[in-house]
Chain A
Amino acid sequence: MMSVIVLTLIIFIGSYFAGLLGSLTGLGGGFVIIPLLTLLLHVDIHYAIGASLVSVIATSSGSAAAYVKEGITNIRLGMFLEIATTAGAMVGALIAVYIPTSFIAVIFGIILITSAVMSLRKKAEQIVLEKNKLAETLKLNSSYPTANGTVAYSVKNVGGGFFMMLFAGIISGLLGIGSGALKVLAMDTVMRIPFKVSTTTSNFMIGVTAAASAVVYLQRGYIDPGLSMPVAIGVLLGALSGSKILVHTSSSGWLRWIFAIVVTFLASQMIYNGFMGKI
């Protein structure tokens, strides 16, 4: 048994580093915060998911504010895909009530490993200019500013991307994470959007997606104020530090590897404890 003040300080410090790592690697803070709370501090996974969702909204809204102004975010594409992510998030939050917590822990571990592996992929900027009927009707094709002037791009495979977003939404609602890696994957590999656009647009969508499931968790009593407070403040401050560091370092390649190792360890612990019925 710990006193409130000691636990709050531990969670705050842990959340700061979770936010820092999440921002440096682009995976988001939820990935570290949920294992930290459940495995190390023995917090019930429902409370952990609730607190993580709150921190996800804070960080994604904070950074989206900066990105939107730069004009890289594709607002129409984001709005259109938010239909899928919010609907998915609602379903995810609703089924979370009926799924055993040990099963949620196992799914969490699997998604965590998948995302870490995907974050290690080489990212090459791709520009597709092929015309796509649906993308034109939905006005999804756009342009974005680069160092060499404005670059126009087209969007491919709108239906496939939409379907992937539905899945990303369910995972976000079920696990209380931003599932940014899944969103980027949908836009990057399925819709063939330039990497800079897909990361900023994914970030833009994460807040709304998380809000769609947070309204369910809020009413179910999963969002505890005493627990969410240090998590949200810590992760946000960590993410802010992370974005400052990113500006000053050209390569974060080694960092990604360290994070991948940490993440694999956490994920296997989540899966193991899930199977043993300890979560």
Chain B
Amino acid sequence: MSRFKDTDMQAVIGWILRVGVLLSMSIIFIGGLIYLYRHGQATANYHTFKGIPDFVHSAPGIINGIITLRGQAIIQAGIILLIATPVIRVVFSAIGFVLEKDYLYTGITLLVLLIIFASMLSGHAG
């Protein structure tokens, strides 16, 4: 196998981003159709902040909502996949830098992942 190069990494990163966006947006679209079909006639109120419904606020709730075909749960799953897409890109960059034996950038990339992870935890604590 030939050595892993920057151009290979560019190809992999481009592919991940494209597939991630296509997949997540398709899921959001399908969830949206179900949501509008079931709740289209309800009145919308986003005027005052009251968080989001409980069943889209936790992983078990979302999974349960997907199984029971609840539109908002499917949309939220798509949104989470969309948010994960650039993070997955960073994970693959880290692997790429290891393959290139560029340990300085492996470290830098892991630091970025660590910050995102810390952000996730801090959001949970608040």
Contacts and interface: CB of A to CB of B under 8 A. Distances in A.
A37 to B, nearest CB: 8
Contact of B80 (A65, A83, A218): A218
A62 B21 contact: yes
A188 interface: no
Given A2-B43, A79-B105, A93 B119 contact: yes
Contact of A90 (B42, B105, B119): B119
A48 to B, nearest CB: 8
B7 interface: yes
Interface stretch (A125-133, A206-214, A250-258): A206-214
B72 to A, nearest CB: 4
B57 interface: yes
Interface in B73-122: 73, 75-76, 79-80, 82-87, 89-90, 93, 102, 104-105, 108-109, 111-112, 115-116, 118-120, 122
Interface in B3-25: 6-7, 9-11, 13-15, 17-18, 20-21, 24-25
B83 A54 contact: yes
Contacts of B83: 54, 57, 211, 214-215, 218
Nearest to A230: B32
A4 B42 contact: yes
A142 B20 CA distance: 28
A218 B61 CA distance: 14
A58 B25 contact: yes
A223 B51 CA distance: 8
A75 B123 contact: no
A211 B116 contact: yes
A218 B123 contact: yes
Interface residues of B, number: 67
Contacts, number: 210
Contacts of B105: 76, 79-80, 139
A134 interface: no
A75 B10 contact: yes
Interface in A61-101: 61-62, 64-66, 68-69, 71, 73, 75-76, 79-80, 82-83, 86-87, 89-90, 93-94, 97
B40 A4 contact: yes
Contacts of B25: 58, 232-233, 236
Nearest to A45: B49
Interface in A116-165: 138-139
Interface of B: 6-7, 9-11, 13-15, 17-18, 20-21, 24-25, 28-29, 31-32, 35-36, 39-49, 51-52, 56-57, 71-73, 75-76, 79-80, 82-87, 89-90, 93, 102, 104-105, 108-109, 111-112, 115-116, 118-120, 122-124, 126
16 contacts: A4-B43, A58-B25, A71-B10, A75-B10, A79-B109, A83-B112, A86-B119, A207-B86, A213-B119, A216-B122, A221-B57, A222-B49, A224-B52, A225-B75, A226-B72, A232-B25
